Amino acid sequence: MKWLIGIALGVCALMLAGVGLVVTVLIDGDAKASEISDGGGGLQGVPAEFRPWLFKAAEECKAHPELTPALLASQLWHESKFKTTRDEATSYAGAKGPAQFIDGTWATWGRDADGNGKNSPWDIGDAVMAQGHYMCSLLGDAKSSGYGGDPRALALAGYNAGWGRVQEYRGVPPRTFAGGETYDYVQAIMADIAKFKGPGLLEVSGHGAGADALRRASARMGTPYSWGGGTPSGPSTGFCDGVNGYLNGVCSASNTVGFDCSSLVQYAYWPTTQLPRVASAQYGATSHRAVARDELKPGDLLFWSHGGSGSIYHVAIYAGDGNVLHAPRTGRVVELQPLTSAMPSGDYFGATRP
């Protein structure tokens, strides 16, 4: 369900915030597999519109952590090069869309994951979530099969040739099968996983409400900012209100699946702590537990205001070591920044502990 807030308080005001330096992350891999590289949140070389769905698809496969966003990204690259048009993403065998589903397989796995009223292999959200669910199921088959080899390779072979062929050969079909198509497909995807691994996700130690919320939010690093977008269940498209949600004069939010500052916070703490939707209301719900700046702990909420609690326009999550995790503004992504430069220092209003 989309949460629409069109009141004057808004969600997170559009700001000319200073650009801070992303810190405490390690670069792993390169972007040679794609011309697009944004280097954030554990992925690189992935178009922005695919990023939140890759994280969501991997996150939903809790039983098989081997299904990482980078694995799914590498698979998409070799399936379609992230193409989404019918001319560019229709195979000679009739496979369709960025994840290359044939009609029979789509009938089993395809769902309207993006909630736009269409169940289509051409929709990025629908395609990636179907890919993830199918691969998750295949990983289960691989692990229970007793066949030797990496279960990821077995699952990829099943995706390409059908699980029946994996059963026939009791493993990845050899090069003699289908001219080596499946064998080469598996080898290429496995080899390119590293190319899609961007900076590592923020490492969060400890447990408790704050640490758990920060850990959940950190898994969304790199997700685009979308004014009015985001729900307790994850990223969604937003909307424009006449002032906010625009990029270069065009309404970006209505076509961007992501979070704004307060929906990221709400998502991070949900369902253990069910915070309100907008930043000012989140302050009101937690202000009875104010925290001094020199006593901040990971998971604490930080607020910025134009003057008083009624003019709060931004909220971020304290990430430790003087950094915050937040969704800054339209055109940016969920990212880690120093507290001192995340927003105008003179607007800092205070911090609370949910």
Least confident range of 153-162, 197-206, 264-273, 282-291: 197-206
pLDDT beyond 50 at 4: no
Q: What is the pLDDT of residues 292-332, one digit of tens each?
A: 999 999 999 999 999 999 999 999 999 999 999 999 999 98
Domain ranges of the chain: 51-196, 209-352
pLDDT beyond 90 at 9: no
Instruction: Give pTM, 2 decimals.
Output: 0.55
Mean residue pLDDT of the chain comes to 86
Q: How far apart are CA 62 and CA 40, in angstroms?
A: 22
Token pair listed for 139: 């990983």
Say how many C-beta atoms besides its own lie within 10 A of residue 266's C-beta: 25
pLDDT at res. 12: 61
Q: What is the pLDDT of residues 170-183, one digit of tens each?
A: 999 999 999 999 99
Decide if domain 209-352 falls under CATH 3.30.70.520: no
pLDDT at res. 309: 92
- Give ∠ CA 340-253-341 in degrees, rounded to 5: 5
Least confident range of 21-30, 90-99, 142-151, 251-260: 21-30
| 51-196: CATH topology | Lysozyme (1.10.530)
pLDDT beyond 50 at 22: no
Token pair listed for 154: 């077995």
Q: What is the pLDDT of residues 126-159, one digit of tens each?
A: 999 999 999 999 999 999 999 999 999 999 999 9
Q: What is the pLDDT of residues 190-213, one digit of tens each?
A: 999 888 886 666 778 888 999 999
Sign of CA dihedral 5, 6, 7, 10: positive
- For residue 115, name the pLDDT band (cuts at 50, 70, 90): very high
pLDDT beyond 70 at 23: no
- For residue 6, name the pLDDT band (cuts at 50, 70, 90): very low
